Structure 1
Amino acid sequence: MSSCLGPPPAAPVAVRPRKDRSLAGRLALSAAARRGVRSRTEDVHAWLAERRRAHVFRVDRIPFAELGEWRFEPGTGGDLVHRSGRFFTVEGLHVEEHDGPYGDGPRREWQQPVIRQPEVGILGILAKEFDGVLHFLMQAKMEPGNPNLLQLSPTVQATRSNYTRAHRGADVRLIDHFVRPDRDRIIVDVLQSEQGSWFFRKSNRNMIVETAGEVPATDDFRWLTLGQIAELLHEDDMVNMNARTVLSCVPYQDTSPGALLSDAQLLSWFTGERSRRDVRTRRVPLASVRGWKHGVEAIEHEDGRYFKVVAVSVRAGSREVVRWDQPLIEPVGTGVTAFLVREIDGVPHVLVQARAEGGFLDTVELAPTVQCTPGNHAHLPEADRPPFLDAVLNAPEARIRYQAVHSEEGGRFLNARSRYLVVDAEGTGAALDPPAGFVWATPAQLRALTRHGHYLNVEARTLLACLNAMAIRTRGEV
């Protein structure tokens, strides 16, 4: 008889708000908290020093012939590969760039070594409330390329090869929070690019996930508020690149009253820049890359510029694997990365450029006003040097609103450091109508774009994290 009644009525479909309206206030409260519940900001230096003493860390340069896990593979034209076939490879890249509405403008062409790492890594920060204030779990992580070895990193910083244990080492701590995140507790989850001048189409999953559960205490991790991290972002070689890119994606509330360009106008300009640029790339054998010479200990440009490919042997007592060797890219010289800033009708704006790099997935990304290694351009006449470079280099101290030296990704780059600057645009020639390829945008507009992948390059995301830190230090909120 019950079968005649038919199936039970379907449960009503529940919809939910598209945004967590309480999140902005919780993030603002964390940003205003200069003193954490779990640790004091001034104690971070002592903690990092203690972690350096607690483990054996050593990085030695070695000839390529002494690489145990890596080899130049004859079948690929001399590409530098890991014997497992995992992790990454160092290959050759041929790039042609045309500028113009039909790809018929000025043309540049070059070849270079490049890192190809097709797997997507995870850069994840765990968040948890203590006494009603959001804290973020930062790790004291050793990377062989960092000049001071140990810096503040995300809770998890791992390639797929790492967290699937291709290295046959220990498990990556706390990885389950990010591989299988609780959908109701995701604060940030977006694919973002890495350096397009050194990586070929590399992306990482940038994540912040909240937990209400207990997290096992370990000596290499500390809970810090956004306000504490903002203070540490003003220091040299303290917060690593992977942490900076995740922090740039924090969805602070947009309090900006307006902008020179509307969001639709900014996106239209950017789409036009992507459409008019024509960047063609193809992978070539490493052994045949033109303009580069292969030595016993380095692959380097014949003019001594740009960067080198070198090899190192590593000991790190706190890592999943305590001994290994690997190739690294070593830049020639310290970089300069800067935003010019100005107020327009009382609203802060920064000057960004649409920058093409050979390794980008989609032609161009938004980049800082200046992003280069000055020594690579010192031989050029002023007209051929990057726009605004001299204005930034010659800026008086009174017009520099922020400066710190930050390291780039220490797992792939050796001693890669840039001087990050925010410079007042007054007297620099940066007009409201900037040169082709440049546009004024507000920090709030840039923050909105970090919710989507491949809009802001990693250098612009570092500077955005620094802008956020400046606002937190000045006003206690972004």
Structure 2
Amino acid sequence: MSVLAHRVLAHRVARSALAADSSTAPLPDFHGWFDERNRADTSRIERIPFASLRGWNFQSGTGNLVHDSGRFFSIEGLDIRMPGRAVDAWTQPILHQPEVGILGIIAKEFNGILHFLMQAKMEPGNCNGLQLSPTVQATRSNYTRVHKGAAVPYVEYFQRLGQYRILADVRQSEQGCWFYRKRNRNIVIEVHEDIEVLDGFRWLTLGQLHQLLAVDDLVNMDSRSVLACLPFPFHGAGTSGAGHHSALIGTDLLSWITEARTRCDPRVERLPLDRARDWQRSADRISHESGRFFSVIAVDVQAGGREVRSWSQPMIEPHGTGVSALLTRRVDGVLRALVHARPEPGCTDALELAPTVQCTPANYTHLPAAARPPLLDQVIEAAPEQVLFDSVLSEEGGRFYHARNRYLVLDADPDLSNIDLGPDYRWVPLPELIGLIRHSHYLNIEARTLITCLQSLDV
């Protein structure tokens, strides 16, 4: 895409972000529609012992939890060595899902404003029933119908991309602490023809979606990730002209990331699940002997409105609500964010850029003080006037059971400019972070969520 075309598209995205309401799809009508969808949802999720899983078994010789088809995903073990870290070695269970899924949103212009087709979707791990998902949110196993269920609605639009304008298209990671090298294709396409709006789907402007981000547990993780990939001109970022939209990435930033990846040098090896040290398996969970971090559990699902109406599966259940916070400040008129070059065992290339703070605080009570994330206390104790965004949002409900993070965007205390946090932290101009999102494996899922939250504040 040329610089001019990118600039035009960024302006169209900005117009949609400025459209706080829409005559095509008024926001009050959305809330009534969504509440009605929730009331009509008959889904039932029940935690079950592993022995009651249908189609899943612990593999002989490894203890890995696998599906009979050999598809979908597996629960395996991982052996991690991170020299120089406060905790430099451990083992853990990990989700291994090698296939690349589709996270796709269909866009269409109504009355000169881009609208996005979103879905009220139930996932078994959602804490509150339905959440707002992309038009298509499906693994390859699902959209190729390994489950022998109904076809995924609208997936055909993402299988004939040559017919549509592509607004965003990039492979992105998911949680590197729970997934081993997981990638999904984050894609937005624009259609011009009329398409049937199926039951459970609704058009919304970007401005409306931004307002809905402030509602706890409403806009799901996959939607936040895809929206972050759209070209977006941050009016408050302090840039102008072509650079305002094309977001050139500085060589020094790329060099810093490369140096951080080289310095980190993690050693990660897959191993049989039954060789994961300090993890214990009972009839209904696999958990750490300390009782912290997370557990692997099993659920039985009776679902309404899904391609398959009944199934069972393992899930990861985190222990405690996480905190993901991004500190921002303005330097010479340019808005910058303090990011952390954070290694995670499931990363494809050692590490990705993470928020300033990303952790589950309860996990650090028994670890060495040096392991406690820098600035965690400052984030938790931030003064109200520093808080620009604060919402509790759910993580991916297809694999994680009631996983939630408190997402914060904070105006940094000026004194932080004098604190040396070491070589793994850096103040990065916001336009450069936006530029990095157009490329794979630079910003992790928590950072992409916070970029979307920042977009909701910019206009």
Moved more, 453-462 or 371-380: 371-380
Report the counterpart of residue 332 of structure 1 in structure 2: 319
Contact 1:391 1:428 in 2 (8 A): no
Report the counterpart of residue 15 of structure 2 in structure 1: 29
Distance 1:354 1:20 in 2: 28
| CA distances 1:217-265 after superposition (whole Å, capped 9, x unpaired) | 2220000001110101111101000000001111123664459x97222
Matched, 1:450 2:430: no
Report the counterpart of residue 426 of structure 1 in structure 2: 413
Report the counterpart of residue 219 of structure 1 in structure 2: 199
Question: What runs of 5+ residues in structure 2 fail to find an aligned partner?
Answer: none
Matched, 1:315 2:295: no
Of residues 289, 293, 308, the one that matches 2:276 is 289
Contact 2:186 2:226 in 1 (8 A): yes
Distance 2:4 2:15 in 1: 22
Contact 1:443 1:467 in 2 (8 A): no
Q: Could you tell me how far 1:275 is from its partner in structure 2?
A: 1.4
Contact 1:196 1:360 in 2 (8 A): yes
Distance 2:13 2:307 in 1: 32
| CA distances 1:396-427 after superposition (whole Å, capped 9, x unpaired) | 22211110000000000001000000122116
Tell me the matched-pair count: 451
| CA distances 1:79-136 after superposition (whole Å, capped 9, x unpaired) | 101111110000001011124xxxxx87711100000000000000000011111100
Matched, 1:238 2:214: no
Matched, 1:367 2:354: yes
Distance 1:250 1:432 in 2: 33
Of residues 300, 305, 308, the one that matches 2:287 is 300
Aligned to 1:22, the other structure's residue is in SS state: helix
Moved more, 235-244 or 29-38: 29-38
Moved more, 173-182 or 37-46: 37-46
Q: Could you tell me how far 1:44 is from its partner in structure 2?
A: 2.4
Contact 1:96 1:281 in 2 (8 A): yes
Distance 1:193 1:408 in 2: 13
Which amino acid is 2:112 matched to?
Answer: G
Distance 2:418 2:226 in 1: 32
Aligned to 2:104, the other structure's residue is in SS state: strand
Of residues 246, 250, 254, the one that matches 1:267 is 254
Aligned to 1:387, the other structure's residue is in SS state: coil
Give aligned-pair identity as a percent.
52
Question: What runs of 5+ residues in structure 1 fail to find an aligned partner?
Answer: 1-14, 100-104, 473-478
Matched, 1:405 2:392: yes
Distance 2:294 2:390 in 1: 24
Report the counterpart of residue 41 of structure 1 in structure 2: 27
Report the counterpart of residue 87 of structure 1 in structure 2: 72
Aligned to 2:106, the other structure's residue is in SS state: strand
Contact 2:234 2:458 in 1 (8 A): no
Q: Could you tell me how far 1:37 is from its partner in structure 2?
A: 3.1
Distance 1:393 1:106 in 2: 22
Contact 2:228 2:452 in 1 (8 A): yes
Note the 1:68-467 alignment, pairs <5 A.
68-75=54-61, 77-99=62-84, 108-182=88-162, 185-253=165-233, 256-257=237-238, 263-380=250-367, 382-426=369-413, 429-431=416-418, 434-467=421-454
Q: 1:110 to 1:184 in 2, by over 3 A?
A: same
> In terms of Rg, which structure is larger?
1
Aligned to 1:376, the other structure's residue is in SS state: helix
Distance 1:324 1:430 in 2: 52
Which amino acid is 1:212 matched to?
Answer: H
Which amino acid is 1:237 matched to?
Answer: D
RMSD: 2.0
TM-score normalised per structure 1: 0.91
| CA distances 1:12-34 after superposition (whole Å, capped 9, x unpaired) | xxx98783442122112111111
Q: Could you tell me how far 1:381 is from its partner in structure 2?
A: 5.4
Q: 1:95 to 1:138 in 2, by over 3 A?
A: same
Distance 1:435 1:269 in 2: 12
Which amino acid is 2:74 matched to?
Answer: T
Contact 1:194 1:458 in 2 (8 A): yes
Which amino acid is 1:394 matched to?
Answer: E
Which amino acid is 1:57 matched to?
Answer: S
Aligned to 1:429, the other structure's residue is in SS state: helix
Runs of 4+ in 1 over 6 A off after TM superposition: 15-18
Contact 1:388 1:428 in 2 (8 A): no
Aligned to 1:336, the other structure's residue is in SS state: strand
Distance 2:364 2:87 in 1: 18
Distance 1:30 1:288 in 2: 51
Which amino acid is 1:120 matched to?
Answer: V
Which amino acid is 2:153 matched to?
Answer: R
Which amino acid is 2:209 matched to?
Answer: I
Q: 1:21 to 1:403 in 2, by over 3 A?
A: closer
Contact 2:374 2:421 in 1 (8 A): no
